[in-house]
Amino acid sequence: MSNDFKWRHFQGEIILWAVRWYCKYGVSYRELEEMMEERGVDVDHSTIYRWVQNYAPEIEKRLRHHLRSSLHTSWRVDETYIKVKGKWVYLYRAVDKCGDTIDFYLSSTRSSKAAHQFLSKALRDRNEWEKPQVINTDKAGCYGKAIEELKHEGKLPVDTEHRQVKYLNNIVESDHGKLKRLIKPTLGFKSMKTANATIKGFEIMRAIKKGQGGVLKFQKGIKGEVRLIERAFYLGKNAIAEVVEFINEELEKNPELEQQILNMCKK
């Protein structure tokens, strides 16, 4: 067993199975408890809650670099509302023009400071060629000030265009709705800490569902998704072994492919 699951009473595969289901399918903890019991796993919903709080942020941390969108430099930035401890707070989100997730940030305020912190987070560790040429936002004044500050700090290219065209943000507003369908069964979060941890799981599973990080999934469909997450925790075969196995399977399906590869190598 991976050291990440030391002292747990369940195998790492089962824990990740529960966390992945909760963060992907929009079910309550009690519903997931019943679903797992149907499959012979007797675990209390409060335990599943602790698993999500511990491992959802860890999945996001280990995969965010591999899943981040970098091919498109036109960003669509907006914020939506979620309820934490009975009060509305702001979830800042950015996607590229194709809808791939760029980053997100939970804040108790809607201000230029929060917008600055969000965009700084989204820009962190990005190469110059990955940084946006265009950032589209709504008419909120907080974004303009934050963008100018980031240019002054050298975190954002000085020629980055700030556009405020409402219809261009339809793609991120639509993505808000899909995320909120996952959030709805929570019936509101109890604290900013638990909200942030859970949303990290929701966002990373949404990114995987969109197809981000597809080159790292050596199997098609849900099996590739499962193995992508398990490999991040060093469960099962390593990436090289899986690639070799995938190639061998493809060669068995198509014997002519082997000869084609050999002919290419000779040229």
Query: Could you list the residue range(s) of the whole structural domain that residue 109 is in?
Result: 74-188
Residue among 3, 1, 179 nearest 95 (CA): 179
Residue 134: what pLDDT?
Answer: 96
Question: Which range (146-150, 168-172, 221-225) has the least confidence?
Answer: 221-225
Residue 72: what pLDDT?
Answer: 81
pLDDT tens-digit profile of 65-91? Answer: 888 766 789 999 999 999 999 999 999
Same structural domain for residues 180 and 241?
no
- Answer yes or no: is 3 within a domain: no
Same structural domain for residues 109 and 174?
yes
What angle is formed at CA 203 by the lines to CA 30 and CA 241, rounded to 5 degrees? 95
Residue 159: what pLDDT?
Answer: 95
Rounded Cα gap, residues 132 and 159, in angstroms: 10
Rounded Cα gap, residues 187 and 81, in angstroms: 14
Domain boundary among 120, 155, 188: 188
- Answer yes or no: is 17 within a domain: no
- Answer yes or no: is 113 within a domain: yes
**CB of 38 closer than 8 Å to CB of 129:** no
- For every residue of 220-250, DSSP letters joined together read SHHHHHHHHHHHHTT-SS-HHHHHHHHHHHH
CB-hemisphere CA count at 13 Å for 76?
19
Q: Is the pLDDT of residue 147 over 80?
A: yes
- Answer yes or no: is 60 within a domain: no
Same structural domain for residues 163 and 246?
no
Same structural domain for residues 165 and 243?
no
Q: Is the pLDDT of residue 33 over 90?
A: yes
- Answer yes or no: is 40 within a domain: no
Q: Is the pLDDT of residue 3 over 90?
A: no
Q: What percent of the chain has pLDDT over 70?
A: 88
- Answer yes or no: is 177 within a domain: yes
Who contacts 193 (Cβ-Cβ below 8 Å, separation ≥6)? none
Who contacts 114 (Cβ-Cβ below 8 Å, separation ≥6)? 90, 92, 105, 107, 142
pLDDT tens-digit profile of 89-109? Answer: 999 999 999 999 999 999 999
- Answer yes or no: is 67 within a domain: no
Same structural domain for residues 179 and 88?
yes
Residue 92, domain CATH: 3.30.420.10
**Overall number of domains in the chain:** 2
Question: Which range (27-41, 146-160, 208-222) has the least confidence?
Answer: 208-222
Q: The tokens 């190598």 sit on which residue? A: 265
Same structural domain for residues 173 and 245?
no
Tell me the average pLDDT of the chain. 89
- Answer yes or no: is 15 within a domain: no
